[in-house]
Chain A
Amino acid sequence: MANKKIEFSPEALELVHRIIKRYPEGKQKSAILPILHIAQAEFDGWLSAPVMDYVASILKILPIEVYEVATFYSMFNLKPVGKCLIEVCRTGPCWLMGAEDVVKYIEKKLNIKEGETTKDGMFTLKTVECLAACGSAPMMQVGETYHENLTLEKVDSILQDYKSKGELVTHWDKKHIATNYTNLHE
């Protein structure tokens, strides 16, 4: 994507402007978190400095205001990631139920360590804090989907599914940019 022009797709841009209108006049900065999620969905799953500058220009704020925010919140990737970011919950209740094993298993299966990306650029493995699904531990998140009550067999088939689809998966799913939101009230 070296010289690709950084610009939201028309659908995303329209969505972004509708989101901005949900906040009072002059408080458009409030829209930053949803817009950064949309930016990750539009620009390969991560936020480069030019992408953050572009978001700043849309929100009419300084680039530093975007950097400040993007570096604070754990869901924003400041480095390239695989098409499919696997986030395994590592906190207490999940740990009690075998989360460590899930992490080790995926590391071994994909031949990467936590924090790394597979050579083919398909998967990045990350551990995250409690995702509010402790009753169905151990669990992991990929995009907007929670995969719960994991067993190693389940992990196998989940990874296989994503691999065969081969698509970019992001928290704000692409399908929620192109379609619906007929009403997203302003």
Chain B
Amino acid sequence: MAKLLIDNITSSCSLSDYKSYGGYTALEKALKLKPEEIVAEVQKSGLRGRGGAGFPTGMKWSFIAKPEGVPRHLVCNADESEPGTFKDRYLMQHKPHILVEGMIISSYALGANTSYIYIRGEMMFQFHILQNAIDEAYAAGLLGKNILNSGFNLDLHVHCGGGAYICGEETALIESLEGKRGNPRIKPPFPAVKGVWDRPTVVNNVETIAAVVPIINMGGEAYAKIGVGKSTGTKLISASGHINKPGVYEIELGVPVEEFIYSENYCGGIKGGRKLKAVVAGGSSVPILPAELILKTAKGEPRLMTYESLSEGGFATGTMLGSGGFIVMDESTSIVKNLFNFSRFYHHESCGQCSPCREGTMWMEKILRKFLEGRGTSADIDLLWDVQGKIEGKTICPLGDAAAWPVASAIRHFRAEFEEYVKNPQNIKDVRHYYRLNNLQEL
């Protein structure tokens, strides 16, 4: 299958390189259309947000409020901090101009004349790559006043964060862009009505905005033909963990999970020929599934890499495509220890605004630590279940859910492993939980 986003990756990410394989032709085409025609094209494409929630992009764009005389803004979410996800960084590093081109087209469609790319502070290297790409675009008349003689003006700025997972949540990101702590806002009002500086704002993921470029080039209908059902187009999957070929893969939505894990075109199978134990398919926030449920649905059908197939069976037996952070764990992995690591992460990253999340994540980390130290009891398993249930759905932003789901799913599918930690704590230190780097035995 032809790649739409990460084709023509070369060592240089210059404007001339990008143009030599057809870069900025979509922009030329787009500027000849009316903004609403672009929105319609994106609606036809069936493109869904690639940041995790999968909300239809064209629909989101159609919601933007257009009060007379109030500027509107497009903000690209390049905060990419969901554990297991590294596709946006890859794209920005190797093809910054596809994001710049997508930002110009999308800003034109939304009627925004000043747009921002909010990149996480740790990605300073990519920040400067983007800045260079933007500078090149200004010099070539692709940004600034009267772009390509269309009468459309756009200033595009790259803005860096300061290190906080929560700033990936769109309202926290907006607060952060305003120079404040990243505390999510209560919705409504939605950003489309009241976003950054109280102006109508659309926040979209890097990959979503980049996908607008091929959509304009090939037309929304042709894009919608790629993929399966409501999962149209291609998706960047970040594959990590115990596989032979970790990395970023652009797949046509609909590839069977089994093929994705074992084919030489993708992950290339499990490291060292070990057995697959579990997969977290869409970034650390989505439910973990054991091998049998990730390869096949509970009905016994092959599971596909689509929004629908991955969530088939609901949370009882399914998961989510999320951000496409595909974390593979082999048979040597301790689910309990891995869960402890994730829970520690959510506790660390909770902004602290909502008590269920602030306190609940702390308790989950604490209880899980007991298991690792051989002090866990059966009652603790139930307590853990209880605590996660008291976070889910009870917070301003979905970080609470994101912290609860991994815990719920680990207990649901791997309860026996928790019980083993309770029954045989003396074995814990002998479990070969993780890969060890060579010659470290003496440590």
Residues of A within 8 A of B (CB): 22, 24, 27, 29-34, 36-37, 59, 65, 68-69, 72-76, 90-93, 95-98, 100-102, 104-105, 108, 128-138, 141, 143-146, 150-152, 171-173, 176, 180-185
Report A154 CB to chain B, min CB distance, Å: 10
Which one, B83, B160, B180, B246, contacts A130 given CB within 8 A?
A: B83
Inter-chain contact A184/B163, CB cutoff 8 Å: no
B88 to A, closest residue via Cβ: A132
Supposing A22-B157, A93-B240, A93-B241 touch, asked if A144 and B84 sit within 8 A by C-beta, the answer is no
Decide: B333 and A24 in contact? CB cutoff 8 A.
no
Question: Residues on B close to A: CB < 8 A?
Answer: 71, 80-86, 88-89, 114, 120-125, 128, 131-132, 134-135, 138-139, 143-144, 155-157, 159-165, 176-182, 197, 238-242, 246-248, 280, 284, 325, 327, 329, 333, 338, 341-342, 345, 348-349, 351, 434-440, 443
> Considering the chains assembled together, what is the distance between the CA atoms of A22 and B182 in angstroms?
20
Contacts across chains A and B counted by CB atoms under 8 Å: 200
CB pair B248 A135 closer than 8 Å: yes
Contact for A137 among B138, B161, B163, B240, CB less than 8 A: B240
Q: Is the CB of B161 within 8 A of A33?
A: yes
Known: A92-B84, A129-B83. A134 touches B327 (CB 8 A): yes
The 9 closest A-B pairs by CB, nearest first: A73-B162, A75-B163, A29-B179, A74-B163, A134-B240, A183-B135, A130-B83, A144-B124, A135-B246
| B338 adjacent to A96 (CB under 8 Å) | yes
The distance in angstroms between the C-alpha atoms of A146 and B134, with both chains bound, is: 23
Name the contact of B180 in the complex, choosing from A34, A69, A76, A129 (C-beta under 8 A): A69
Structural contact, A96 and B435, CB atoms closer than 8 A: yes
A144 to B438 CA separation, bound complex (whole angstroms): 27
Q: A69-B179, A135-B239 are in contact. List 12 more A-B contacts (CB 8 A).
A: A24-B71, A68-B181, A92-B327, A92-B338, A128-B122, A133-B86, A134-B83, A134-B85, A134-B238, A136-B246, A152-B437, A152-B440
Checking B82, B84, B128, B161 against A176 with a beta-carbon cut-off of 8 angstroms, the contacting residue is B128
Contact of A132 with B435 in the complex, beta carbons under 8 Å: no
Minimal Cβ-Cβ distance residue in B for A102: B437
* Chain A residue contacts of B128, Cβ below 8 A: 144, 176
List the A residue with the shortest CB-CB distance to B332.
A96
CB-defined A-B contacts under 8 Å, sample of 27: A22-B155, A22-B159, A27-B178, A29-B178, A33-B176, A33-B179, A59-B179, A65-B179, A74-B163, A91-B284, A96-B241, A96-B329, A96-B434, A98-B437, A101-B443, A130-B81, A132-B86, A133-B86, A134-B83, A134-B246, A137-B240, A138-B437, A145-B125, A150-B437, A171-B124, A183-B134, A185-B143
Closest chain A CB from B291 CB (angstroms): 16
Task: Report the separation of the CA atoms of residues A32 and B180 in the bound assembly, to the nearest whole angstrom.
Answer: 8
CB-CB nearest in chain B for A141? B122
Q: Which of B123, B128, B144, B162 has most chain A Cβ within 10 Å? A: B162
Q: How far is the CA of A69 from the CA of B284 in the complex (A)?
A: 26
CB-nearest residue of chain B to A68: B181
* Contacting pair A97 B435 (CB below 8 A): yes
A84 CB, nearest partner CB in chain B, Å: 15
Q: Is the interface of B mostly helix, strand, loop or mixed?
A: mixed
Question: B138 and A100: CB pair below 8 A?
Answer: no
Chain B residue nearest to A26 in the complex (CB): B197
Q: Once the chains are docked, how many angstroms separate the CA of A33 from the CA of B167?
A: 12
Closest CB in chain A relative to B67 CB, distance in Å: 16
Residue of A104, A131, A152 touching B439 (CB-CB under 8 A): A152
Is the beta-carbon distance between B161 and A105 smaller than 8 angstroms? no
Which residues of B sit under 8 angstroms from A95, Cβ to Cβ? 338, 341, 434
Question: What separation, in Å, do the CA atoms of A152 and B439 have in the docked complex?
Answer: 8
Q: Is the CB of B86 within 8 A of A27?
A: no
Task: Report the Cα distance A93→B132, complex, angstroms.
Answer: 31
Given A95-B434, A101-B437, A108 and B443 contact (CB-CB distance below 8 Å): yes
Are B125 and A146 in contact, CB atoms less than 8 angstroms apart?
A: yes
Q: Shortest CB–CB separation between residue A140 and chain B, in angstroms?
A: 11
What A residues does B121 contact at CB under 8 A? 33, 37, 73, 75, 171
A34-B159 in contact (CB<8A): yes
CB pair B162–A76 under 8 Å, yes or no, is yes
CB distance from A98 to the nearest CB of B (A): 4
Q: How far is the CA of A183 from the CA of B325 in the complex (A)?
A: 35
Nearest residue in A to B243 (C-beta to C-beta)?
A: A135
| Given the contacts A129-B83, A133-B89, A33 and B159 also touching, CB distance less than 8 Å | yes
| Distance, CA A162 to CA B81, complexed state (A) | 27
* Residues in A whose Cβ lies below 8 Å from that of B89: 132-133
Tell me, rounded to whole Å, the shortest Cβ–Cβ distance linking A97 to chain B: 6
Residues of chain A lying within 8 A (CB to CB) of residue B131? 181, 184
Q: Please, which residues of chain A bring their CB within 8 A of the CB of B345? A: 91-92, 129-130
Q: Are A132 and B81 in contact (CB under 8 A)?
A: yes
Q: Which of A22, A131, A133, A134 has the most CB of B within 10 A?
A: A134
Which of A97, A130, A143, A146 is most buried by chain B, counting CB atoms within 10 A of its CB? A130
Note all chain B residues with C-beta closer than 8 A to A104.
440, 443
Chain A residues whose CB sits within 8 angstroms of the CB of B179 once the complex forms: 27, 29-33, 59, 65, 69
With a cutoff of 8 Å between Cβ atoms, the chain B residues found around residue A130 in the complex are 81-85, 165, 284, 345
